[in-house]
Structure 1
Amino acid sequence: MCGIIGRFGADGIDAVDDVLHGLKNLEYRGYDSAGIAVQGPNGIDIHKQSGTIDRLAAELDERPPEPRSHLAIGHTRWSTHGRPTDENAHPHTGCHGRVAVVHNGIIDNHETLRAELTAAGHEFDSETDTEVVAHLVEEYLPGAATPRDAFTRAVGRLEGSYAIALLVDGVDALFATRAGSPLVLGVGETGCFLASDVPAFLDHTDRVVYLEDGDVTVVTADGYAITTLDGEPVDRPVETVEWDPEDTQKGTHDHFMSKEIFEQPTSLSQALQGRVDPATQGVTLERFDPGAFADVSAVHLIGCGTSYHAALYGAILLRQHGVPAQAFLASEYSAVTDSETPLVIGVTQSGETADTLGALRTAQEAGLRTLALTNVVGSTAARECDDVLYIRAGPEIGVAATKTFASQVATLVLLTARITSDVGATPVDPDCLRAITSLPDVVKEVLATSNAFDLATRFHTADAHFFIGRGAAYPVALEGALKLKEISYEHAEGFPAGELKHGPLALVTESTPVIAVFTGHEDERLLANVREVQARGAPVVGLLSESSTTVAGVVDEALTFPDTHPLLSPVPATVQLQLLSYHIANLLNRPIDKPRNLAKSVTVE
């Protein structure tokens, strides 16, 4: 959840500016508090503040570290242990200020370690689990042959998940390790970076090393060395990231969410590029030769939040084509095999979502084949799963997922086409595969013609918003409600349309707009549900294709999208709901890119 960054620069490099810039690029990972530790000739200089990184930047302007240093670490926090206060902000130090540490994850045995260290005379200043790391290293330094030995001895005592970067006073080195939380090394011409995510340093280098659990990294003036905890050398490849640094900036948009909504024609084009033959409607997926899925008897799709909604869509699609499939919330997944041995697909934007990784590992322990459907090359899910299929959406900074959902859905259509072909199930309609190549243009037209702002102006003060749909429209309803609640803080719920009369209808009033998602499938049945809520006085917004004249004559307001294949309608429909949520949140003056209590990458369970 939290974002960490470390910088070891060449002579003349100002690590403080680079770390501060990296923290701004990582703010989507947490924004409760922020801090920086700078290695200097007079000790480690600590600056930290609760609140946004701008507050930290203001303090650094008022009290800049002197002299400037080439070595620093930084942290932007999403609180797990302890409130978002100055005292709980990272970096944390030991009793004597000899060690400064930043950490992402949860130290499960921190209470035991804290009690042990307190008995040994250590005094703690914060409520966090992280502080025990600094005290442990400081406890071991006097008896250690090298600072690295003290660091690895301390790490050996830790239980839980962590990515750690650490400085030792007077030692010109940056120490780091990971277990269950992401950490990537950036290798540049002017030194190295360590960070939770590539956007932290993409302005400086596109050459990266993806560290794995148990790796211990020490960065010095001579470069970097990666070993096991026991000191055995480890060789990790240097890879090139294809993302453009401009992709991680807002450009002319007020918010990252707006920018990423409008990037969807491009992200969809990237997801589809080279995978569909417009002439034959054949689907080619890199890494998967014909017959790669011939032994698949069933499919389990797992995910969290928006990725779960994409997984739910994928399961519906597979079942419609004769392949047994279920979608599971990753946090609730149990790999029950019985007589079937399903292919388990982990749908995860970051590839680092803790609940999804845990579910995938459960599946692997049960002997099941796993496939990561992810956006991030080199992520943990991509490395650990048997197979990986990238959605190729490009970096997504906004906490509320937008373009990655569209790319997940499009990629799941292609994956369904391949699976059904390999197992001899009902093939995906060739018209659907023909239409999918035009999907970027369909979304482009939605973005150019949407009247979502007008509807947001009318409904942004409503008591609640209900979203309903049937079949493949149900995941769209869930996603629309999630987008609205997470960035506007207004009450919103998504339901299968038929469930309204089994309880939720009691909440429908004249002040409760109901957004009904029509995809061209089961529209008549959905219209019956629309009339049910209209009979209770609720205004109904129909989300429908331009040719749905029958539906348009019944609903009170309409959000339309160009005609496309019914299986693909969820994509332009979701884009309209993203715009509606964005405009409502903007009218309510919400911090759209920094919704309270949320962060982009959920790397703790």
Structure 2
Amino acid sequence: MCGIIGYVGEKEANRILLEGIKRLEYRGYDSVGVALLNNGKIVIKKDAGKIDEVHKKFNFLEPKSKLGICHTRWATHGNVTKENAHPHSDCNDKIAIVHNGIIENYQEIKEYLEARGHRFKSQTDSEVVAHLIEEFNKDLDFEDACKKAFSMLQGSFAILAVKGDENKIVGIRKDSPLVIGVGEEESYAASDIYALLPFTHNFIFLRNYDFVVLEKGKFKIENLVEKNVEREVERIDVNIKEVERGDFHHFMIKEILEQADVFERAFDQNENEIERFVEEIRKAKKIFLIGAGTSYHACLAGSYLFAKAGIFAKSIIASEFSNFLDLINEETLIIAISQSGETADVLDAVRKAKEKKAKIFSIINVYGSSLMRESDAWLLMNAGFEIGVAATKTYIAELAILLLLYSKLSNKKVNKEEIKAKILDLLSRSRREYIEKVAELLKESQHIFLIGRGLEFVTALEAALKIKEISYIHAEAFPGGEIKHGTIALIEKNTPCIVFVGEEIEKILSNAEELKARGGFIIGVSDKNEKIFDVWIKVPQDGEATLIYQIIPMQLLAYRLAVLRGFDPDKPRNLAKSVTVL
């Protein structure tokens, strides 16, 4: 879960690498580093800390270079230290690499290299790659040494390697994303296209075991398994201003405020593609919805919605899917949901299901992603780039597509224009100001409990996740009827309890009474104010669409809590946007 970028060409590499790596910071931000070629030598600058902090300390803009690689890290092996930051180099500092992923057999490789005199400076798995290339470079040229080294690796990896006396970047992709950018007299590589959009709109999406050599204005690709391959250059036109933060303090609030348009774009799917999904859902003997984090909550919402349409679908957290493999066969439909399309747990589940001959459909936000290529059919969320680590607008997009599928399966009309109008109202200035007052009441809380029934329980889960991942307040969600089976013991005087009211009004209000009787401070999310509420957050009640209405004020609440408590909601601690390791 790191970000990598490389450039070779006639322009100043320093500025391109610095701007590009800043655009990848959402993928990891505990350390950063750059390797620049200068007069036949490699200059490495790196340290623990965020990009601006380290750049201010070391100045990534010097020495001037026309070739370099850069890395921003989310730690997996080794502590957050300067030594463990990338790039990593060989014994003689003549070869440098950056890596995203995990080298599963690194210990075995490290022992092999240590026996041959190599000495390591870090605790990381990644450093072995630089030394392995060095070892093979004794007898092979740089490209072939890289090829042999990469062939020995097990695990997931996107790697870029450079050598001081070679004007080229050598790379490999296996189960971690890597895209090539094509320019006139320059070549780029990066973890995703967002890093490269200011510089090019022409991209090649590499596939597993694609081995690439980048030089000024040219590139070559071969596959270490398939050998000779052709990869299409795809043009992707994006208005760069649309993906900038602009005048907003954070990407998260910008992305929350985009959600009315996002809902509309996600709902407006190609009719033939939707009908194919609907047909397969009706035909399948078994249906599993798989996802992780926020996307798992969308899966759970999907299972409730499909049930309302008379179809049983089991939602499963992707990392737990292997426990259900004995149930998978050629009559099984897997619907995988992932914003990035690169989530390792989801991809692992999908590949195991494919081995069992299951059909794979997916709902994704990133065109060209690994999940898209693994799928028999897919629907794009059309949410645009989401930079804030905490998912907001992509969750609304996922729900929009699931509501569309539900409407087709149940023959129940969903009014897109009405839903969009209500979303706009929920995002109005007066609504946001009211949520800010609620946040003031909760900002010193240590615990928040959330309850709901049915689809409202799904909302409780997602709201709890938003609150804890960016404000660091412990938040826990339960079905309304489950709270009294143990957890109610934690309720004390003035414990905040958020209650989502849906169709089972009497039951959920009875659950709220149970909490209030133990001293709970009740925050009701409902279309009507109830006597039991200490605070009321008004939202429309509109059947299944309430799923969307109720989460929006919770996103705003989580955002405001983070800001009030002095935290950066775009870069929560210990997290990264795309989880590309198992």
Q: Smaller-chain TM-score range?
A: over 0.9
Corresponding residue SS for 2:427? helix
Corresponding residue SS for 2:473? coil
Aligned-residue offset at 1:39: 1.1
When normalised by structure 1's length, the TM-score is: 0.92
Aligned to 2:174: 179
Aligned mates of 1:244, 1:566 — CA distance in 2: 36
Paired residues of 1:436 and 1:568 also in contact (CA < 8 A): no
Corresponding residue SS for 1:105? strand
Paired residues of 1:445 and 1:562 also in contact (CA < 8 A): no
Aligned-residue offset at 1:35: 0.3
Paired residues of 1:375 and 1:391 also in contact (CA < 8 A): yes
Aligned-residue offset at 1:244: 2.7
User: Higher mean Cα deviation, 388-397 or 241-250?
Assistant: 241-250
1:417–1:562 Cα change, 3 Å: closer
Aligned-residue offset at 1:400: 0.4
Corresponding residue SS for 1:172? coil
Q: Provide, for residues 333-367 of structure 1, a one-character-per-residue CA deviation record: whole Å limited to 9, x for no partner.
A: 12332799331111111000000111111111111
Aligned-residue offset at 1:461: 0.9
1:136–1:231 Cα change, 3 Å: farther
Report whether the alignment pairs 1:237 with 2:227: no
Paired residues of 1:186 and 1:205 also in contact (CA < 8 A): yes
1:267–1:128 Cα change, 3 Å: same
Give, as a single letter, the amino acid of the residue that structure 1 aligns with 2:540. Answer: P
1:42–1:237 Cα change, 3 Å: closer
Aligned-residue offset at 1:42: 3.9
Corresponding residue SS for 2:227? coil
RMSD of Structure 2 on Structure 1 (CA): 1.7
Paired residues of 2:264 and 2:416 also in contact (CA < 8 A): no
Paired residues of 2:367 and 2:380 also in contact (CA < 8 A): yes
1:36–1:465 Cα change, 3 Å: same
For residues 467-486 of structure 1, the aligned pairs below 5 Å read: 467-486=450-469
Report whether the alignment pairs 1:298 with 2:280: no
Aligned to 1:313: 301
2:160 to 141, 144, 165: 165
Give, as a single letter, the amino acid of the residue that structure 2 aligns with 1:329. Answer: I
Paired residues of 2:295 and 2:337 also in contact (CA < 8 A): yes
Aligned mates of 1:496, 1:230 — CA distance in 2: 49
2:530 to 536, 543, 552: 552
Aligned to 2:191: 196
Aligned-residue offset at 1:64: 4.6
User: Higher mean Cα deviation, 30-39 or 441-450?
Assistant: 441-450
Aligned mates of 1:510, 1:222 — CA distance in 2: 67
Paired residues of 2:187 and 2:217 also in contact (CA < 8 A): no
Aligned-residue offset at 1:273: 2.5
1:597–1:372 Cα change, 3 Å: same
For residues 201-280 of structure 1, the aligned pairs below 5 Å read: 201-229=196-224, 232-273=227-268
Aligned mates of 1:289, 1:343 — CA distance in 2: 10
Paired residues of 2:13 and 2:68 also in contact (CA < 8 A): yes
For residues 43-58 of structure 1, the aligned pairs below 5 Å read: 43-58=41-56
Aligned to 1:424: none
Aligned-residue offset at 1:165: 0.5
When normalised by structure 2's length, the TM-score is: 0.96
Aligned mates of 1:381, 1:130 — CA distance in 2: 25
Aligned to 1:423: none
Corresponding residue SS for 1:185? strand
Aligned to 1:279: none
Give, as a single letter, the amino acid of the residue that structure 1 aligns with 2:6. Answer: G
User: Higher mean Cα deviation, 510-519 or 593-602?
Assistant: 510-519
Aligned-residue offset at 1:55: 2.1
Aligned-residue offset at 1:325: 0.8
Residue identity over aligned pairs, in percent, reads 40
Unmatched 5+ residue regions in structure 1? Answer: 276-282, 421-426
Aligned mates of 2:164, 2:151 — CA distance in 1: 21
Corresponding residue SS for 1:345? strand
Aligned to 2:367: 377
Aligned-residue offset at 1:417: 3.4
Aligned to 2:420: 440
Aligned to 1:406: 396
Corresponding residue SS for 2:138? helix
Q: Provide, for residues 25-65 of structure 1, a one-character-per-residue CA deviation record: whole Å limited to 9, x for no partner.
A: 0000000100000111140110101110012221343x753
